[in-house]
Amino acid sequence: MIADFHTHTIFSDGELVPAELIRRAIYSGIGAIAITDHADFSNIEFNLSNIKKVCEKINELHNKGGKNDSKFRVLPGVEITHVQPELIKDAVNLARKCGALIVVVHGETLSEPVEKGTNLAALNEDIDILAHPGFITEDEVLLAKKNGIYLELSYRKGHCLANGYVSGIANRFGAGLIISSDAHSPSDILDETKYNNVGLGAGLTHVEINKIKENTAALLKKYPI
């Protein structure tokens, strides 16, 4: 089973309402997603109060069984984005308080002017995934490993530029990897082929890609619905 813990809806800069994102994900064969819209102190509470409603309804429906896709799950989350490093701790704590299960931090991608120090600040907090971390340092990778934080290999244009570097340094030091879509539009939504191609494009073997799927299962086990 594949899962995608980094997606966006109209609650930030995505094109789809949550219901359509969910339907398209199910149709593509994804077993679980997290809705992780871009967030800072202006919208963390608003986004999560609404996303949680969607997640509760969908999970209640699929937990009843009797549907071909009854095992599908959707988790409420956030992607803390362009928050100053000194404030990331407060943003993460607020997101957890508001019910975020999956907390992603927008890492130092090569395609955006993310403030230096964001990766390090994020890896010291209670987060699940550091998204598209760019040229992450050895010390930061070791910190990710120590704190059980996954480093993302991204499907999204621009953010994917450092995938090969991230996979190489993560494997060298034993940090966990996650493959995510960073979906903003219908064309971004992963299927099995796209998922595998992200890993292969980053220099991974099929065995290593299957290990990432084990990481996915571990993260889902951490937050049972």
Q: What is the pLDDT of residue 69?
A: 46
Strand 150-154 and strand 177-180: the pairing is: parallel
Cβ neighbours of 12 (radius 10 Å): 17
Average pLDDT for residues 109-115, to the nearest whole number? 98
Give me the pLDDT at residue 62, please.
87
* Mean pLDDT along residues 181-194: 98
Residue 91: both structure tokens together: 């943003």
User: Per residue in 33-77, pLDDT tens?
Assistant: 999 999 999 999 999 999 999 999 999 998 876 554 458 999 999
Mean pLDDT of 173-193: 98
| pLDDT the model gives residue 70 | 54
User: Do residues 74 and 7 make contact, with C-beta atoms less than 8 angstroms apart?
Assistant: no
Q: What CATH number did the domain enclosing 19 receive?
A: 3.20.20.140
Say what percent of the chain tops pLDDT 90.
94
pLDDT value, residue 67: 52
Interval 104-113 mean pLDDT? 98
Q: How confident is the model at residue 93 (pLDDT cuts 50, 70, 90)?
A: very high
| CA dist., res. 65 & res. 222, Å (int) | 22
Average pLDDT score over the chain:
96
Residue 89 has pLDDT above 90, yes or no: yes
> Given this model, what pLDDT does residue 119 score?
98
User: Is 225 a residue whose pLDDT tops 50?
Assistant: yes
- Report the 10 Å Cβ neighbour count for 43: 14
Query: 106 forms bridges with which residues in the sheet?
Result: 131
- Domain of 174 in residue numbering reads as 2-222
Angle made by CA atoms 166, 172, 176, in degrees to the nearest 5? 60
pLDDT, position 12? 98
Please tell me the pTM assigned to this model.
0.96
Residue 157: what pLDDT?
96
Total structural domains in the chain? Answer: 1
pLDDT, average across residues 120-126: 98
Q: Residue length, the chain?
A: 225
